[in-house]
C-alpha cells in the first residue's frame, strides 16, 4: 500500500464537546477518541454512578427509533439518540476508527450541524493507520419505498449522494443536491447545514417529549413564509444539505464507507435505516473490497479540507 489514502485513519487525539440534547434538553458531554485499526465506530454510554454500557459498534442493527433522529440501543436498557451528526462528521472527513463516549441519553446538538465536530477534527488532525481501508461496494440496486418517499443504493464508480426534498412550504419547496464526496467538499458544502423544523409543530413536539432543547441557536425555524433565525441561512439550499448530512451519518452505520451512489426522494432516518437492511439482506447486493481493489481514479481521500494535518506516522492505539 503506497498511497496513504489506501490506509485507515483515526483521530490524532481526543476531543470533548459539551452541550445539551435537542430533544430531551438535558446537559451532556461527548468525547471522541482515537481507536485501533479495524474497530470502526464504537460507542459507550456512561452514567452518573460511574457505570457504563459498551463499547458497542455503531451499527444499523442497533437502530431502535428513527423519529426526528437516529437512536441506538446499546443493550442493558441503555440507548443514545441523535448520533447522526457526530457520525456524519467522522464519515464525511474519512475517519475509519473512533471511540465515542456519551454521558447522557442523547448526543449534544451543538449548533445543529456537524460543523463543530468537523472544526475540532480539523484542528487536531488525523493519523494514518497500517490496516488497508475497506469499502462496501454496491453490486446491484437496492430500493425501498414508503408511499411517495424512496431511498436507493446502486452501483457507481465513486461515493455519491443524490437527494431531493419536497415540502409544502414557500421557504423550502423542492430542493435537490447531487454530491460527489470528498472530505473537503463535505466540510465546505455539507457540514455547516443545520437541522430545521416548523414553528407550527413546536408545541405538539414538546408535548410528545421532543424538541425540548430546540432553539434558534441550534435549529432553523420556519414560520409561514419566513425564517425566524436572525442570521438567515448558511446556504441557499441549507435544508436539502442538512438532509444529505443526515444521510452521510445514517449510512455510515453499515460499518464501512459505501462505494456507490445513494439516491433519496423525500427520505429521512427511517428510510436510510431501511435501505441498509435491504442492502445486507442478500450477499449478492454488495462486496467488501479494499481501497486498492477500487479504480485508480477513486482518490477522494486525497482531497482534504485546508488546514487538516494527516500524519503518515503509525501510532499504537488501544
Three-class SS of residue 5?
helix
Mind spelling out the 3-state secondary structure of 121-132? HHHHCEEEEEEE
273: helix, strand or coil:
helix
Whether 59 is catalytic is no
| C-alpha distances out from residue 313 to 9, 52, 91, 197, Å | 11, 32, 21, 44
Distance of CA 154 to the CA centre of its chain: 19
Closest CA to 307 of 129, 183, 159, 179: 183
Residues forming a β-bridge with 162: 178, 263
Ramachandran angles phi, psi of 211, nearest 5°:
60, 25
Block residue for cell numbers 444539505: 241
Catalytic residue among 23, 85, 242, 269: 269
Closest among 83, 258, 116 to 193, alpha carbons compared: 116
Q: Which three cell numbers stand for residue 94?
A: 474519512
> What's the rounded Cα separation, in Å, for the pair 9 and 136?
17
Q: Which residues are catalytic?
A: 269
Amino acid at each position: 500500500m503506497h498511497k496513504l489514502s489506501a490506509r485507515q485513519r483515526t483521530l490524532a487525539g481526543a476531543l470533548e464537546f459539551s452541550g445539551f440534547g435537542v430533544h430531551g434538553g438535558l446537559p451532556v458531554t461527548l468525547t471522541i477518541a482515537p481507536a485501533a485499526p479495524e474497530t470502526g465506530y464504537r460507542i459507550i454510554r456512561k452514567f452518573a454512578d460511574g457505570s457504563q454500557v459498551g463499547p458497542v459498534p455503531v451499527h444499523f442493527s442497533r437502530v431502535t427509533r428513527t423519529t426526528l433522529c437516529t437512536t441506538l440501543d446499546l443493550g442493558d436498557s441503555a440507548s443514545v439518540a441523535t448520533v447522526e451528526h457526530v457520525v456524519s462528521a467522522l464519515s464525511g472527513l474519512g475517519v475509519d476508527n473512533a471511540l465515542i463516549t456519551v454521558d447522557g441519553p442523547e448526543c449534544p446538538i451543538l449548533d445543529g450541524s456537524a460543523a463543530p465536530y468537523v472544526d475540532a477534527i480539523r484542528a487536531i488532525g488525523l493519523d494514518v493507520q497500517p490496516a488497508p481501508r475497506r469499502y462496501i461496494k454496491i453490486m446491484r440496486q437496492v430500493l425501498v419505498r414508503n408511499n411517495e418517499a424512496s431511498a436507493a443504493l446502486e452501483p457507481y464508480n465513486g461515493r455519491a449522494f443524490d437527494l431531493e426534498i419536497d415540502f409544502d412550504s414557500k421557504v423550502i419547496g423542492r430542493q435537490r443536491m447531487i454530491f460527489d464526496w470528498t472530505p473537503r467538499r463535505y466540510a465546505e458544502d455539507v457540514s455547516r447545514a443545520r437541522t430545521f423544523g416548523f414553528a407550527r409543530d413546536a408545541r405538539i413536539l414538546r408535548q410528545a417529549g421532543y424538541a425540548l432543547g430546540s432553539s434558534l441557536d441550534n435549529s432553523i425555524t420556519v414560520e409561514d413564509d419566513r425564517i425566524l433565525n436572525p442570521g438567515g441561512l448558511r446556504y441557499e439550499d441549507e435544508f436539502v444539505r442538512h438532509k444529505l448530512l443526515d444521510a452521510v451519518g445514517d449510512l455510515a452505520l453499515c460499518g464501512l464507507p459505501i462505494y456507490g451512489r445513494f439516491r433519496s426522494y423525500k427520505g429521512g432516518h427511517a428510510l436510510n435505516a431501511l435501505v441498509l437492511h435491504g442492502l445486507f439482506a442478500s450477499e449478492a447486493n454488495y462486496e467488501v473490497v479494499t481501497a486498492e481493489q477500487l479504480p485508480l481514479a477513486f482518490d477522494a481521500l486525497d482531497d482534504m479540507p485546508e488546514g487538516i494535518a494527516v500524519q503518515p506516522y503509525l501510532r499504537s492505539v488501544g
